[in-house]
Amino acid sequence: MSGADPDWWRGAVLYQVYPRSFRDANGDGIGDLPGLLSGLDYIASLGVDGVWLSPVFASPQRDYGYDISDYCAIDPQFGTLADFDAVVDGAHARGLKIIVDQVYSHTSDLHPWFAESRADRANPKADWYVWADPKADGSPPTNWQATFGGAAWTWDSRRRQYYLHNYLIEQPDLNLHNPEVQDAILGVARVWLDRGVDGFRLDVANCYTHDRALRDNPPSGRTDAVKPYFLQTHLYDRDRPESLQFARRLRALVDERPGRFLLAELATDRPVEITAEYTSGPDGFHTAYSFMFLGERFGADWIRKGVERLLQAAPEAWPSWAFSNHDVTRVATRWGAGRPQPQFAKLVFALLTSLRGTAFVYQGEELGLPEAEVPRERLRDPDGVAFWPAYKGRDGARTPLPWRAEAPHAGFGPPQGGEHWLPVDPRHLPLAVDRQENDPGSMLRFVRAWLAWRRAQPALVKGDIAFLDAPLGVLAFTRRTRGQAALCAFNLGETAQAIGLPAGDWREGPELGGKRAGAMLELGANSGFVAVAA
C-alpha cells in the first residue's frame, strides 16, 4: 500500500500484536515494546500492511491493559515513551502502519479522574463518570449486568451512590454524555496522533453512552447462557444513538490528519444494524468490526448471509473482518477442530483476506496455532477465573508466541528462569516460527506467499464483491475492479463438491487444493480455488 494513499486502510491486512505475549526483551516474563521492536522485521516479512497494537498504557493490569490509569503514559512493564516512539518509527521505516488501541468507554478506578469524581458530589469531575442514586430499597438503579459477572453497579460509600461499570468493578464507566469528558478524550487522541500513530482501534465503541432514563434491559430469552450478562437484551446499556455524537467529533479530529483512520470494535447483539449505523456516512467511523465471525457459528451460508446483510444495510460502508483476536478461542480450534491442519488454517486465512473489507490477523494465526490449554492454577483472565470451568476465559488465546521450538520458553524471552506470565502450550512448539521457516508446506510460508500475491491483485484489495450460487458448504464469489476480476471458491464443508467455472481466462493463484476439470472446479473438503482474470 502506498503511504500517500489516504485510503490505504481499505483492503489492508493488519496484524494484531498482543504485547504481553509477543516477545519479552528483558526476561521478566512479560512481552514489551523493545521485544516488539525486535520483531518488526518478522511482521514485515509476513506481507501485512500494519500493526494493531493492544494497550500498552499505564494500568494496574486488572484487565491486562484495558483498565487505564493514565492515557498518556506507557506502563513501565512495557517500556517507555521513547520505546513507543522507536516502535512507531521502526514500523514506518519498514512500510508498516501503527494502529493503537484506545479505551474511551471506561478507565481504571485508579485513574486520577475517578479519584476526584468519587470524592463527593460537588467536585469539578463529579459528573465525569456514571453515578446514580439507589432505588428506594437500596438496590442498584437498573438491572444491568456486567460482562465479567454480577451487577453493573457498585456502591461507593463516599458519594452514597452507585457507579456504573460494564466490565470489572475496577473499570468505572466514563460519562460521555458530558462534553467536558468528550473534550478530555479528544485531547488524549491528539497526544497519540501527534506521536505519529496512523489510527485507532476503539474498544467497545458502542458502549460510549448509556440510557439517561436508566431503563431496565428486557430478558433475552436465552437458556444456555453461562453468564447472567447474556440473559438480557442490551438495549439501554450500549448501542445508544448518543454515542454517534461523540463518534462525529472524533472523526472530525482524525480527518484533520489525512491518512489516519478509526476502527470501531462493536460488541453487540445486532452486528449488522449497529455496524451500518456506526459506519454510514462521512462522519461516522471509517470502518468497524463486530463479533459476527468471532463466535462458534461457522459455514458458507452463515458467512455469505452476514456479508450480504451488511452490504444491503450499508452499501457504501467499508467493513472489517476478523476470525480471531485476544478475546476469543483461536479460529484453528473454534472452527477447525477435527479438520486437517494446516490445510484448514490456510483455507480460512485465504478466505478472511479475500472478503471485501479490511482484514485483521491475530498474532499466531500466521502459524496456525490452536487454542492453548492453560491449567486452572495459571489462569490470569478475570473472566476465566470467575466462570471456570464452564468458561475458561481468554488466556488460551493469549499465551506467548513460540519463536524457537527448542529454546527455553519457546524463545519468547531470555532464559532467566522462573515462569512467564502465561505458559507456552507444548503443542505450539512444533509450530514455532523457526520450524515453519524451513518447511515449504508450513502455514507461515503459505501466509507470506499468499499475501505477496494478494497485494498485487487490485480486485482482492479494493474490488466489489458478488456471491455466486454454489453447492452446500461452498462459499463462492467474485471480486471486481475496473481492470481485474478475481474468482474465489472455498469448500468449508467436509464432503467434496464441484461447481461450474465462470467463463474467463483465469490465472490460478496460490495452491488451496481445488482443481480445474474442464469447465468445472473440483473442490475437495477443506479446499479452495482462487484465480484472477483481466
pLDDT in tens, 328-365: 999 999 999 999 999 999 999 999 999 999 999 999 99
pLDDT in tens, 108-140: 999 999 999 999 999 999 999 999 999 999 999
What pLDDT is attached to residue 503?
87
For residues 236-251, average pLDDT: 96
> Does 515 have pLDDT greater than 90?
yes
How far is Cα 98 from Cα 91, in angstroms, rounded to an integer?
7
> Does 464 have pLDDT greater than 90?
yes
Global pTM value: 0.97
Q: How confident is the model at residue 4 (pLDDT cuts 50, 70, 90)?
A: confident
What pLDDT is attached to residue 415?
61
Q: Point out the least confidently predicted range of 80-89, 472-481, 496-505.
A: 496-505
Q: What is the 3-state secondary structure (H, E, C) of 54-98?
A: CCCEECCCCCCCCCCCEEEEECCCCCCHHHHHHHHHHHHHCCCEE
Active site amino acids:
203, 256
Largest interatomic CA distance in the chain:
78
pLDDT in tens, 414-459: 766 678 999 999 999 999 999 999 999 999 999 999 999 999 999 9
pLDDT in tens, 267-288: 998 999 999 999 988 999 999 9
Cα 228 → chain centroid: 24
Q: How many residues does the chain have?
A: 534
How far is Cα 26 from Cα 394, in angstroms, rounded to an integer?
25
For residues 232-249, average pLDDT: 96
> Does 2 have pLDDT greater than 70?
no
CB count, 10 Å around CB of 131? 21
CB count, 10 Å around CB of 247? 22
Q: What is the 3-state secondary structure (H, E, C) of 470-520?
A: CCCCEEEEEEECCCCEEEEEEECCCCCEEEECCCCCCEECCCCECEEECCE
- 232-236, long-range: CB < 8 A, 24+ apart: 232/143, 232/144, 232/145, 233/269, 234/268, 234/269, 235/211, 236/142, 236/144, 236/210, 236/211
Instruction: Catalogue all structural domains in the chain, each as residue range(s) with its CATH number.
Output: 13-107+179-452 (3.20.20.80), 464-533 (2.60.40.1180)
For residues 367-386, average pLDDT: 96
For residues 72-94, average pLDDT: 98
As to burial, measured by CB atoms within 10 angstroms (0-12 exposed, 13-18 middle, 19+ buried), residue 18 is: buried
The β-bridge relationship of strands 153-156 and 161-164 is antiparallel
How far is Cα 148 from Cα 153, in angstroms, rounded to an integer?
12
For residues 203-226, average pLDDT: 96
CA of 251: how far to CAs of 12, 30, 218, 246, in Å? 20, 34, 32, 9
> Does 157 have pLDDT greater than 80?
yes
Judged by DSSP in three states, 358 sits in strand
Percentage of the chain modeled with pLDDT above 90: 95
More confident residue, 363 or 408: 363
What pLDDT is attached to residue 467?
98
